[in-house]
Structure 1
């Protein structure tokens, strides 16, 4: 069980983000502290250099005011006051030692060679650090001209500075450990906060998997990415629930609509088994059976077409289409049927611009709506086709003086297998308008309807240009 828990922690995104945050923070903290430590060293050494240079200037002023003897006396007083912390050495330009404090306490490795005029530029000071690896100590020296032929060398032990820097280093190392722990805690908190929305989506998905299809992720104003993920997940679940509901309804409707033709086919088959029939009778049964099978095949194919259009399956073949030619061709197909019912088919079209669309699907969509209008328009009626266009879309209106649609039926008119009461006397299974809507939306357009019961309907097809 412990191993399983460890493996879970290894693969946990929260743990990985926490470790990455802690590592990055630690490396950044070490770099910052290292840079800060170098700055402290520079500041400490600059203060030492400033103190040494100030003492060289004081000796130069003393030499100017009172001469070399006064400088020597001041050296003795400085030595007595600072013990072995400093060394003073007065030199000539040639490097000859004119006066000095005791050098034995420091050792040769911590004392530079005597300076000459070439080592010290005019009006400037030269600084040098001497070190002794065996004694693990260092000294800092300043050299400068104090008279026309004299050079002053002043050295100071860096033992106090190094002790201060050592304490400072230990404090930074002591501070680094709690900083690492703090960075891990902050990283864990930030990772949990960032991924809490993902956890919520996961828990919701698990509940939906268990059968609670009404469950949704609560969208909270936190991070834009999590908010977008929650919205996208909820929209996906809504879509899936709609599809599942549609599949249930489709299954119920198919079962209902398949029952009648299958019952008729079964009845025909039973009649052939009851007794001998004439050859003509058998031919009639065979024809009826073929017709019923064709109806079933047509209904199944239409259902597949609707499903493919709604799911976006299949590539669309876009091309430039002459809309005048397409509408006139469709009207020609239904001219004879309209003439049999004495229906006036009117298509007064202006010179329309071309549209870029899938020609076969647009033809099927338009002929479907035109067939529907003629089918439900009584004799001596009228079906008119009107087109207007804007910069981005074409609006094709098919107006009829047919039986119309009641207000109760209007919201459901595009549902699968839905048929109004007054349309049940006509043939069909109620899939035509569902297919038209699915194709229109697949083409990036839309379809709408306005209708007055017993006066007529207006179907408006909008397709992008």
Structure 2
């Protein structure tokens, strides 16, 4: 690992997260120790004070009832049965001069003569006598007896301090493993938290190398980072679709512009030959305009198809009267149908409205009706029927034309595909592709039923809830 990478480690999010996690874990452990230490210390102190007050009460009651002799017997018995935790007991006169003291021999580190200089207080207040080395101290509770004498009972803090010392030593012993555990826990949590980010970085690097199919693996946790991964992958899907559509459009345009551009070139070259009549130039210009219009129609159709397939087609949605739209399209083609000896019938209920782009849906109907007229023989019939069912508006265009062979049905929606029978008719081979694309943009669909020699029925389905 280079020195530059080592130098940059503290700047990484992973290192900072690990440091934060570890710091919070260790700080929490220390705070927990402080709280536990304070709780243990308070509990032990309360236990000692409770034992002192209990012993003081018993001894003072014994003195009141039976005098000093009985008190001495009680102390002697107590020393026999309480060798482990003996009490310090002091009996003093009215002027606090020591009359009698009972205390364990191992408590010699306390200077008991100082007690005569300390004014005794009621048992609600405590006297603390430090040892000569000040390592421990003696907690004392006092009570004035009915005859004016003082009785004091105490306990050394030695046992309590030993327990607390063991607790401190235990915590010190576990601190290093605890710090290590905190660091490992922080590293693990940091790794888990940043794993989607690492996958994201690797995916972006793969895309930068040209692998557009690369995707970020999801964690499946359902958290914000998982949602980010889902949105990022969705964005990549859309970008890949757009790029593929652009490539496909460019390929199609490059392929399909060759023929009309060649015709334009030939017309212009022919018109430039010497000794030509003006009418020939006019005819050449008219053909050039016709070919240029054909190219424009092809480009517009290809752009519409690409926009619809990539989800960027703009739709000017508004409430549309479907029967009125059907009548409008039929009116445009009625003259051509009459010339060919075809009859067109419309069957649509009144007040059938749906929110769509009226021009786009009109373009769909026009394409399908134009095909029906082209491929229906003289004397045939064409019917348009609209209805509403199960949340959809369905428009059917049925003809008695030549039909479509079964093997060609899956391919009629492909761009620039023209079947055997359609090659004899003028067209770009983009009409049905455009129909499907516009329906896709409306979240609708289109299908076809056809039988050669009997005709075809195209059905378009528009969502009625838009």
Q: When the two structures are superposed, what TM-score results if normalisation uses the length of structure 1?
A: 0.81
Paired residue for 1:70?
70
Is the 1:383–1:398 contact (alpha carbons within 8 Å) kept by the matching residues of 2?
Answer: yes
Aligned to 1:342: 341
1:296, distance to aligned residue in structure 2 (A): 1.1
Partner SS for 1:296:
helix
Q: Hey, what does 1:123 align to over in structure 2?
A: none
CA, structure 1 residues 274+84, in 2 after alignment: closer, same or farther (shift >3 Å)? Answer: closer
Structure 1 residues 81-90 or 41-50, which shifts more? 81-90
- Checking the alignment, whether the CA contact within 8 Å between 1:91 and 1:97 is kept in structure 2 is yes
Stretches of structure 1 lacking an aligned partner (at least 5 in a row): 121-125
Q: Report the Cα offset of residue 267 of structure 1.
A: 0.6
Give CA deviations for 1:209-237 in whole Å, capped at 9, x if unaligned: 43445656667x76445776666666665
**CA deviation map 1:25-70 (0-9, x unaligned):** 2222222222222221122223212322332243145336633432
Deviation at 1:5, TM superposition (A): 0.5
C-alpha separation between the residues in 2 aligned to 1:15 and 1:36? 31
Could you tell me which residue of structure 2 aligns to residue 455 of structure 1? 454
With over 3 angstroms needed to count, the CA separation of the structure-2 counterparts of 1:290 and 1:244, relative to structure 1, is same
SS at match of 2:35: helix
- Structure 2 distance, partners of 1:380, 1:233, is 57
Structure 2: distance between partners of 1:274 and 1:197:
69
What is the aligned partner in structure 1 of residue 273 from structure 2? 274
Q: Is the 8 A contact 2:96 2:150 kept in 1?
A: no
What is the alpha-carbon distance in structure 2 between the residues aligned to residue 232 and residue 419 of structure 1? 39
> Would you say the 8 A contact 1:59–1:71 is kept in 2?
yes
Q: Report the equivalent of 1:44.
A: 44
Question: How far does the alpha carbon of each residue in 1:294-334 deviate from its partner, in whole angstroms, 9 at most, with x for none?
Answer: 11122112222333333343654433333232222222222
Separation in 1, partners of 2:452, 2:149: 122
1:339 Cα deviation from its structure 2 partner: 2.3
What's the CA shift for 1:114?
1.6
Secondary structure of the 2:406 match is coil
Question: Which residue of structure 2 lines up, in the alignment, with residue 88 of structure 1?
Answer: 89
The answer to which of 185-194 and 144-153 deviates more is 144-153
Task: Give the corresponding residue for 2:322.
Answer: 323
Matches for 1:69-148 after TM superposition, within 5 Å: 69-72=69-72, 74=74, 87-90=88-91, 99=99, 101=101, 105=111, 113-115=119-121, 119=122, 126=124, 128=126, 130=128, 135=134, 137-143=136-142
Aligned partners of 2:155 and 2:287: how far apart in 1? 120
Q: Distance in 1 between matches of 2:79 and 2:191?
A: 65
Distance 1:112 1:18 in 2: 57
Matches within 5 A, 1:205-216: 205-213=204-212
Distance 1:193 1:146, change over 3 A: same
Partner of 2:107: none
Displacement of 1:349 after TM fit? Answer: 1.0
Q: Aligned with 2:377: secondary structure?
A: coil
What is the total number of aligned residue pairs between the two structures?
455
Runs of 5+ consecutive residues of structure 2 not aligned to the other structure: 104-109
In terms of mean alpha carbon deviation, does 311-320 or 342-351 score higher? 311-320
Deviation per CA, 1:103-142, whole angstroms, max 9, x where unpaired?
9716859997423xxx45xxxxx36374769946544334
Cα distance 1:6–1:450, how it changes in 2: closer, same or farther (>3 A)? Answer: farther
Where in structure 2 are the equivalents of 1:391-410 lying within 5 Å?
Answer: 392-410=391-409
1:179, distance to aligned residue in structure 2 (A): 1.5
Change (3 A) 1:411 1:16: farther
CA contact (8 A) 2:271 2:280 kept: no
1:25 aligns with 2:31: no
Distance 1:35 1:338, change over 3 A: farther
In the superposition, the TM-score normalised over structure 2's length comes to 0.81
* 1:199 matched residue in structure 2: 198
- Indicate yes or no: 2:158 matched with 1:162: no
State the secondary structure of the residue aligned to 2:253: helix
The structure-2 alpha-carbon separation of the partners of 1:32 and 1:401, relative to structure 1 and needing over 3 Å to count, comes to: farther
- State the 1:346 CA deviation: 1.9
Q: How far is the alpha carbon of 1:279 from its aligned partner? A: 0.7
SS at 1:182 equivalent: helix
